Structure 1
């Protein structure tokens, strides 16, 4: 759908976060006289009226009857497409779209590499943009990574690197390249079931002319086997990791010791980015040297520094148990206290529990809404594991400071979302930094926009 198609129709925007504000600005830029309603939280209503005096603002969540009064609703990504009110309104004729879908409608000929995955999609997207720019390609970096596409409505780029969440993959238009970094269980609160999450995530494959997937995941390989133009990374003869190097086929290209982003999982993200360059017809081997200058994204295994004789690492982006295990693997051989727990989504922690059974030098502190469930699971499998249960986040950090030996690592890698205590993972990471004694402001994501 193009923005011009909203002319003469009854239109509402649902959500007043950055995506919602970008949608309002974009619609106003094309259709300044279009009557526009906004549904937002009660505490946002006054700010919304000041933002655009012509808006009709409702400071509450709409029910099906209200939604059915509109021809089109522009919905923010965090609002589930499976909410009963949405499903009912759709059945009664209301069309739902998004900022992502509107951008693709306005840019049908853009050269797009869309990146998704349960984990690794943000870093892979940022690496791909960084490497393409190192080759002199004018590249946009936007999407779920922190810059709504509609904020770049009138921008031009040779290559668009767009991160897409599972909420957005079904809204993407035709893609030259789709990349799937990984596929685990996540966001069941939005999608309802694991099967629906997987199906929604893999809608990217339907939109992608060429599909690049993680060759190390058997389930992902099986689910994408029918794609006519599927490529793999992480395995021979493509881009993979071997003997301390990033390798293309049999050719060692980049030594892992020179990587700015730590951990084998980031080396695999680099393989995905380099394989994507190859798929786009760009010189990936020449670009690989720029991995040394890539600036790691905040809250993703971000070393904050040393305080009180301990090293503090912020991995607040971790929202699945698998991501927490990857973080622990990157710190193998060190004394680690890991803080886990957060918003309860009913994810399976059994693999995490089993993986910690034989690990030495590990202490676990649980907190958050699902903290008691994780602690119970750990006690049943490994009673000798040093385990602490904290009442809240601040208590967990204080406990970690007490039990971690000198020279050890305090790792925040919750394996769960932050919504039980924080607005998002970034706020949680900033709070962790502050409690540890570092600057809470920190650094943002480098490279967003067009360069």
Structure 2
């Protein structure tokens, strides 16, 4: 099992995936690829050496990803949380259904999946389909869906201090990831945004923030000025800029804006390279700082 980025795939010559999956494609890494068309082409190199004996798992609900079916020689299986698919995994309330060769089997109830958020329902369907397509027994797939607690740095609950819940989503390195993290929040939330500039746009992000549980945003890092302009264009006024540029200061600002019963969410919508070696280091520092707060 390997997670491969477009930055790795663009130079692919021999990599051959027996089962390859694409969950979604949204604007990212335009500092490298300049155009979305080039970025998509790099993503598609995951299919480069596949044959009809291999499997491609695609998100039917994402039009860009759905249309990649014509760019692979592999047998295509779809997953969808919005509609039934001819072959693959889909959501039919209240269950996840696996359909293949005209037969349907219930995998589990959607409510039994531990990881939060609609995007994680899609991730669960993708993983289930990858496993099932490679002969993993349905019972094992079901158990994994019901028991998997999530991964570090992706909507990870860290601690609760003085009634405020701190959530580490340092893996949110582009606007779409942060939009999904916000959608998973069930309490009023203060959001920490900003980091290295990958030449992404943030207008869609702030249009989603306005209609979400986020009531305040703290900005820092290289993209802070760009994020502030996007907030102003969207008419979102509850924005604080961490003038010092210090990560710990930004967390303190967010903590002061949050009230008992609320969240502080680190989901920067940007890479970490202006301040940290990687998103893992950024997440680890966030966790260390908030865990040291007084109860």
Give TM-score scaled by structure 1 length. Answer: 0.58
In the alignment, the residues of structure 1 paired with residue 171 and residue 181 of structure 2 have an alpha-carbon distance, to the nearest angstrom, of 11
Alpha-carbon displacement from aligned partner over 1:360-414 (angstroms, at most 9, x marks no partner): 552211111101211121122224x421111222221011110111010100000
- Kindly state the Cα deviation for residue 167 of structure 1 after the two structures are TM-superposed: 2.3
Is the Cα–Cα contact under 8 Å of residues 205 and 224 in structure 1 kept in the other structure? no
- Kindly state the Cα deviation for residue 342 of structure 1 after the two structures are TM-superposed: 0.5
RMSD: 2.1
Partner residue of 1:175? Answer: 17
Alpha-carbon displacement from aligned partner over 1:252-281 (angstroms, at most 9, x marks no partner): 432333323222211211100111122223
Work out whether 1:342 is the aligned partner of 2:195: yes
Is the Cα–Cα contact under 8 Å of residues 246 and 267 in structure 1 kept in the other structure? no
Partner residue of 1:232? Answer: 78
Residues 105-116 of structure 1 aligned to structure 2 (within 5 Å) = none
Is the Cα–Cα contact under 8 Å of residues 84 and 92 in structure 2 kept in the other structure? no
Matched residue SS, 1:230: strand
Query: Any stretches of 5+ residues in structure 1 without a counterpart?
Result: 1-160, 440-451
Q: 1:288 and 1:349, CA in 2 relative to 1: closer, same or farther beyond 3 A?
A: same
Is the Cα–Cα contact under 8 Å of residues 254 and 289 in structure 1 kept in the other structure? no
- Kindly state the Cα deviation for residue 353 of structure 1 after the two structures are TM-superposed: 1.7
Residues 77-156 of structure 1 aligned to structure 2 (within 5 Å) = none
- Kindly state the Cα deviation for residue 251 of structure 1 after the two structures are TM-superposed: 4.9
Partner residue of 2:61? Answer: 216
Partner residue of 1:241? Answer: 91
Q: 1:390 and 1:300, CA in 2 relative to 1: closer, same or farther beyond 3 A?
A: same
Partner residue of 1:366? Answer: 219
In the alignment, the residues of structure 2 paired with residue 354 and residue 324 of structure 1 have an alpha-carbon distance, to the nearest angstrom, of 12
Query: Any stretches of 5+ residues in structure 2 without a counterpart?
Result: none
Aligned residues: 277
Q: Whose relative contact order is higher, 1 or 2, with alpha carbons under 8 Å and at least 6 apart?
A: 2
In the alignment, the residues of structure 2 paired with residue 361 and residue 173 of structure 1 have an alpha-carbon distance, to the nearest angstrom, of 42
- Kindly state the Cα deviation for residue 240 of structure 1 after the two structures are TM-superposed: 2.5
Partner residue of 1:188? Answer: 30
Is the Cα–Cα contact under 8 Å of residues 304 and 438 in structure 1 kept in the other structure? no
Residues 220-369 of structure 1 aligned to structure 2 (within 5 Å) = 220-228=65-73, 229-234=75-80, 235-237=83-85, 238-249=88-99, 251-284=105-138, 286-332=140-186, 334-369=187-222
Is the Cα–Cα contact under 8 Å of residues 207 and 234 in structure 2 kept in the other structure? yes
Alpha-carbon displacement from aligned partner over 1:134-167 (angstroms, at most 9, x marks no partner): xxxxxxxxxxxxxxxxxxxxxxxxxxx1221212
Work out whether 1:399 is the aligned partner of 2:241: no
In the alignment, the residues of structure 2 paired with residue 363 and residue 401 of structure 1 have an alpha-carbon distance, to the nearest angstrom, of 11
In the alignment, the residues of structure 2 paired with residue 350 and residue 290 of structure 1 have an alpha-carbon distance, to the nearest angstrom, of 37
